[in-house]
Structure 1
Amino acid sequence: METRSRRRKLAAVQAPAPAAAEAPKPKSALEDQDPSLAGADGGAGDSISQLPDGVLGDIISLLPTKEGARTQILASRWRHQWRSAPLNLDHLWLCRERNNLDAVVSRILAAHRGPGRRFSVPVYHLVGDRAATADAWLRSPALDDLQELDLCSFSGRLPFPPLSPQPPPAAAFRFSETLRVATIGECHLPDTTAQLLHFPKLKKLELEGVHISESSLHTIIAACPALECLLVQSSFGFYCLRINSISLRSIGGRFDKLIIENAPCLERLLQLGSRHWHPHISVVSAPKLETLGCLSSNYRDILAFDLTVIQGSRVNSLTTVVRTVKILAVDMDALSMDVVIDLMRCFPCLEKFYIESVGPGKTSSCRYKHKNLTSSLDIRLKTIVCRYYRGIKSHVDFATFFILNAGALELMTLHVNQEHYNEEFFGRQRKMLQLDSRASRGAQFHFAPNDPHRYDIDFCLHDLDLADPFERKDPGEFHALL
């Protein structure tokens, strides 16, 4: 008995103590407010839902319109976020039919408390028999403090605009004190309207298909003291645009005549011409200009930098070289080494060179001209992109010239049509391009397929502030020559 009792006591001493009840984890403040944030194991829910309301609102406002509204079904924490987040209302994400668009836009504006971040709708949809509806939209509290207004031009999803452009609704200009980005398309901006406009915070402006006088165009630019990006597409009613701006960093568009008189911050001049558009562009003072194109040097284009003139397919009166330009894009119908060499002399500090050539090549008037350039021409190019490369003699001469002479070259990409994108073509080019004798031992050489749907270099407003607006993501498929 005594032995049995002693054994029991000994076992009780050796046995582990009963586990203490685990103290419940304290709830976070978010979980206390919204139990749906707790995970199945009682821990915190998804990390995105734990972000502050202001951050969630910014995320929602950057989503396409439908996706932003659908965040309400994610969890109870998200349920009311969309209604108070800055509204992003873009007609392209809503519906295809005009009548449905009216109903959907009206319903969204009625449900949203504001403020507004972006409002996008075709401008011609706001005039005529829709004027009263449009006026109600633009005066809605949901658009208060609007930052981006996109009264865009024709959209394939909606009926064609009227033949005669109409002025935009007056209510569209109630946001002038808060707008930072504005696109105006397919309308008439009369002088009386332009004289009254003032956009103190506007940084980006696009005019597309706008009828505007020369004096009104200059008035609007002067009324935007913070303007950094200006894009003018297919607009009419003026012949010459003169730029005197201390804030502009990028200008794009197609002009009959563009004169940069004083632009101390200007860095980019874009989409200046094409094989079918021959503008006159003069730059008097732009000390920070680094990106230029797309030039069409086969026609009667004139590009003047003080006394530097590129005219036709040759560089004439080359008394001043342009040392600030580092990125250049050129569109040639017929690739000519004479023109290329003249461009290298005119822009001696180029680092990136984009060139397109869809026509037949040209034989150099000075066959051995390039052989004596290495001592007089300091080629600093790091990137060369040639589109529509066909392996014909002028194209091979172009590529070989830089392969043999560009000592700083890092990457050459040759875009070819699909019929040339094969091993047989690549093998012939390896022999013709003399890659083993390249001046830059670390350079890479790639073939990439051309984009069959890409005809011209076109830009949208938001491309204008990119460090390199001509840089396109190459197709995932490419073939390395080395």
Structure 2
Amino acid sequence: MAHQETLFPSPPACSPPSLTLHATGQELTIGIEDIMRIVVPCLPAPFFPAAGASRPSPSARVGGDGEDRISRLPGKVLSEILSRLPAKDAARTVVLSRRWRRVWASTPLVLDDSDLLVLPRRGRSDYLPVDWCSVTDAVSRAIGSHRGPIRRVRLTCCVMWLVQRLGMLDYWLRRFADGGAEDLVLFNRPQPKGLYLPADVLRIASLRTLYLGFWTFPDIAGLPRGPAVFPHLREIGLFCVLISTGELEHLLACSPVLEKLAIVACFYFSHHIRIGSRSLQCLVFWKSLTYELAVVVAPHLQRLILLQDYPNLSNPSLRRTRVKIGYTPGLSVLGYLEPGMHQLEIGGVSIESGTKIVPSTMVPSVKILALRVQFGIRKDAKMIPAFLRCFPNVETLHVLSLEADEPTGKLNLKFWQEVGSVDCLETHITKVVFDKFRGERCELAFLKFILERAQSLLKLVVVLANGDQASVDEMLTKLKPLTTAKRASECPTLLAVARDGDSPWCFQRASDLSVSDPFDW
């Protein structure tokens, strides 16, 4: 094989160890490793999950007569074969025959740079680190040599700072636009931070899905705008992307058929996020932080998923987010609302434990509601009735019990007995799932409250926090009083469940619109 010179020099030593974020005059340092632990599980799946495994070559002989029957198949069939192969394997077919070269040139390119990654072989004397620049080099050659259409591109391993410095990234994006790319995953491996995303990404009008990671969004001044920018775009994922309120609004305005927006590991401490979209169906705000998340106008929004889990955040005030729900007549799934994290505002009214709930402060469309509550924090637990009153037609209630680091007083059964009318609990709720039960009296008091008030309850599921046998036996003993407790429903089913391992709830499940209840398992 002829020697081919690499296009790129060696990269600098390593990724920066942390990101320093600024919030109202304060600094917060979050380690890159912590960010990557959030981002990596949320990445779109590789196009070819079995990449690297042994697979038959298209050049394999069929039969014992040595005749190459595969190459005699119709061109459309050969093209379909190539489109299902990782780029490295598909490119090898050009050496088979002139016909395969013609097919390769006309086959839509499906490029995933993780297929080109040569992982180090541990336990060998010739162990070497991953050569990221070789991957980048191979991607550049693949894009430059393939002159046909482009279907899907997933770049998570390339050294983007170097690609951009050499002017190649703008060229790549123009090729994606000319080739009619439909799916694009473009991650700047966090090296260095703050790299600006080229504006040419907004010129790929053929896109249907766009996932961006570790970029600074370009200044919107002079950028293409209007529904013609992304007329087919249905999914956007922003992973640790620095984007202003105006830039996000610009992106939404350019996407007239957008169905899913995911904001993952993004930090906007002193900023407002405003969501306005006539087509959006699912909004996921995943392990991100902001001062205010306002869903202003979203008539087709079905699902609003919130997960803001930062237990090691030194300044608790930075965790507080105002969640404003505006015009969302189709919203049916909401959670996790967390009293210790979220200041809920509906119809311009902030919801507090003593707030009088009127029709303008209700969201009657919500059928599935999920709460994360520290029952050891008295103020947080007292917010539960107020939250429930805002959603009068809830049918399924999920409650995740969080352990309080510094308890401030627990609510007893008397408090729950004195709670006034709660419409959803007394008329609509048929299923309650209580997760992470630790056997505390305040948890039992809440469960008794559910049994005494839920007139339509069919099933109460209690998931134990600890699955080992000794703990299970102890928790079952503590749950025994529920079997004789007063019940508003005639025959609810009581289930105690010991789960093996962590909850299966994850980003992919939360954002999957085909799953009717993303909090269930």
Instruction: Compute the TM-score of the two structures, normalised by the length of structure 1.
Output: 0.70
2:403 aligns with one of 348, 359, 381: 359
How many angstroms does 1:291 deviate by? 1.4
Q: Deviations over 1:71-114 (max 9, x none)?
A: 98xxx9xx898876544323344415312312432454467565
Change (3 A) 1:220 1:137: closer
Matched, 1:191 2:219: yes
Larger Rg: 1
1:302 aligns with one of 343, 353, 356: 343
Partner residue of 1:463?
511
Q: 2:428 is paired with a residue of what secondary structure?
A: coil
Matched, 1:260 2:285: no
How many angstroms does 1:230 deviate by? 1.8
- List runs of 5+ in structure 1 lacking aligned partners: 1-33, 155-159, 475-482
How many angstroms does 1:126 deviate by? 2.7
C-alpha distance in 2 between matches for 1:142 and 1:55:
25
Contact kept, 8 Å, 1:265 with 1:286, in 2: the verdict is yes
Partner residue of 1:97?
131
Q: 2:444 is paired with a residue of what secondary structure?
A: helix
Change (3 A) 1:462 1:269: closer
1:347 aligns with one of 375, 381, 391: 391
Matches within 5 A, 1:63-462: 65=86, 69=90, 86-95=108-117, 96-109=130-143, 114-122=148-156, 125-128=159-162, 131-140=166-175, 144-154=179-189, 160-163=190-193, 165-175=194-204, 177-192=205-220, 195-197=223-225, 198-233=229-264, 234-236=266-268, 239-253=271-285, 254=288, 255-271=290-306, 273-274=308-309, 277-299=319-341, 301-306=342-347, 309-311=350-352, 314=353, 316-320=355-359, 321-334=362-375, 338-360=382-404, 362-364=410-412, 366-367=414-415, 369=417, 377-404=425-452, 405=454, 407-410=456-459, 412-419=461-468, 424-425=473-474, 427-434=476-483, 439=489, 441=491, 443=493, 445-449=495-499, 451-452=501-502, 459=507
Residue identity in the other structure for 2:437: Y
C-alpha distance in 1 between matches for 2:154 and 2:300:
30
Residue identity in the other structure for 1:148: D
C-alpha distance in 2 between matches for 1:114 and 1:356:
51
Contact kept, 8 Å, 1:410 with 1:442, in 2: the verdict is yes
C-alpha distance in 1 between matches for 2:335 and 2:148:
41
Contact kept, 8 Å, 2:375 with 2:411, in 1: the verdict is no
Residue identity in the other structure for 1:179: L
Q: Deviations over 1:424-476 (max 9, x none)?
A: 2354145233179763636361413264599xx7636982634446336x4xx
Q: 2:327 is paired with a residue of what secondary structure?
A: coil
Partner residue of 2:123?
none
C-alpha distance in 2 between matches for 1:71 and 1:396:
64
Residue identity in the other structure for 1:416: A
C-alpha distance in 2 between matches for 1:64 and 1:421:
51
C-alpha distance in 2 between matches for 1:370 and 1:420:
36
How many angstroms does 1:302 deviate by? 1.8
Q: 2:166 is paired with a residue of what secondary structure?
A: helix
Residue identity in the other structure for 1:187: W
Change (3 A) 1:90 1:354: farther
Partner residue of 1:28?
none
C-alpha distance in 1 between matches for 2:253 and 2:460:
42
Residue identity in the other structure for 1:196: P
C-alpha distance in 1 between matches for 2:494 and 2:109:
46
How many angstroms does 1:279 deviate by? 1.0
- List runs of 5+ in structure 2 lacking aligned partners: 1-57, 118-129, 311-315
Change (3 A) 1:220 1:416: same
Change (3 A) 1:119 1:368: closer
Q: RMSD of aligned C-alpha atoms?
A: 4.6
Partner residue of 1:25?
none
Contact kept, 8 Å, 1:274 with 1:296, in 2: the verdict is no
Instruction: Compute the TM-score of the two structures, normalised by the length of structure 2.
Output: 0.66
State, as a whole percentage, how many aligned pairs show the same letter: 24
How many residues are paired up?
418
Residue identity in the other structure for 2:320: H
Q: Deviations over 1:264-304 (max 9, x none)?
A: 112222216446622112222111111112211135x3212
C-alpha distance in 1 between matches for 2:237 and 2:423:
45
